Homo-oligomer: A and B are copies of this chain.
Amino acid sequence: MVYFSTKSPSRGGGRPPKASAAFNALKRDIMLGTLPAGTGLTELDLAAHFQCSQGTVREALLQLQEEGLVRRQGHRGTQVSDCTEDEAVEMFRLRDHIESAGLPRVMRSPSPSLIADLNAMMAQMLQAADADDELLLASIDRDFHRRILQDARLPALDPILHRCLVHNHRFKISRSRGVRDLQATAQRHRSLIDAIASGDIASATTAMRRHIATIVDFGPELFPGSQQ
C-alpha cells in the first residue's frame, strides 16, 4: 500500500538524484537567461553550490552538453553556449526536416495509444499554461513531439530532434520575455493532433509544418523549399 509520494515525481522510491537536480537547475537558469551565454561553470564551485561531489556535477554538465546548452573544452572549463538567431533558424529547419521525414512513417503504422498519449500531454500543457510555467510547458512540448517521432521507428533521430527542440525553446524564450501567450501555445497542438488522428498523411504534414513555422516569426523565408 502506498501512503505518500512526497518527493519523487514519477518513479516510486525516495532517493535524491542530485545529478538531475543540478542538471535541472542549470538547465533552467540557462534557458531563462539567468546564466548568460559565455558564463564559465567550474565543476568544484557547482559541487559546493549543489552540495554534491564533483563527479555528480560532471554528469550533469555532460548531459547539458548533449543538449547543446554548454560547451566543454578539454581542460579549459565549461561555458554556457551561445544562442544566435542564425543558428536558431537552422535549428528550426533541421527540426522541420526531421519531423517531416518521420510523420509519413508514423501515419503508416501509428501505435494504438498515440492519439491518447498526445491528448494526455496536451492536457498537461494546458495545466502548465494555467500555472504560468513556461519551462514546464516547453518540456511537455518536447515530449509531445518526441512521442510522435517515436512511432516513426527511427530512434537514432530522437536525440537530434531533442537537441533541436531544446534550442528552439531556448531561443523562443530568449526573444519573447513578457509577450508570451502560453495558453495559445498549448492550444496550437489541437489541430496537429486532429490532423494526425484523421489518418491523412498530406494534411498531417501540412499541419506539422504550419505548427513549426508559427512558433517564432522569422518571416516568410524560413522554409524556402516548402511545396505548400
Contacts and interface: CB of A to CB of B under 8 A. Distances in A.
Given A86-B153, A87-B154, A159 B68 contact: yes
Contact of A93 (B87, B97, B156): B97
A156 B81 contact: yes
Given A62-B62, A159-B68, A163-B160, A90 B55 contact: no
Nearest to A159: B68
A23 to B, nearest CB: 13
A79 to B, nearest CB: 11
A90 B155 contact: no
Residue among A55, A87, A105, A160 having the largest count of chain B Cβ atoms under 10 Å:
A160
Contacts of A225: 225
Contacts of A157: 87, 90-91, 94
A155 B81 contact: yes
Nearest to A55: B55
B167 A82 contact: no
A119 B136 CA distance: 48
Interface string A87-109: 10011011001100100010000
A152 to B, nearest CB: 9
B66 A66 contact: yes
Contacts of A146: none
B86 A94 contact: no
A65 B83 CA distance: 24
A101 B163 CA distance: 18
A156 B97 contact: no
Contact of A156 (B59, B91, B155): B91
Nearest to A91: B156
Interface string A44-62: 0000000000010001001
Given A86-B153, A87-B154, A87-B157, 8 more contacts: A55-B55, A66-B66, A90-B154, A91-B156, A93-B101, A94-B157, A97-B97, A225-B225
18 contacts: A55-B55, A59-B62, A62-B66, A66-B66, A68-B156, A82-B155, A86-B153, A87-B157, A90-B98, A90-B101, A90-B157, A91-B157, A94-B94, A94-B97, A94-B157, A156-B167, A160-B163, A225-B225
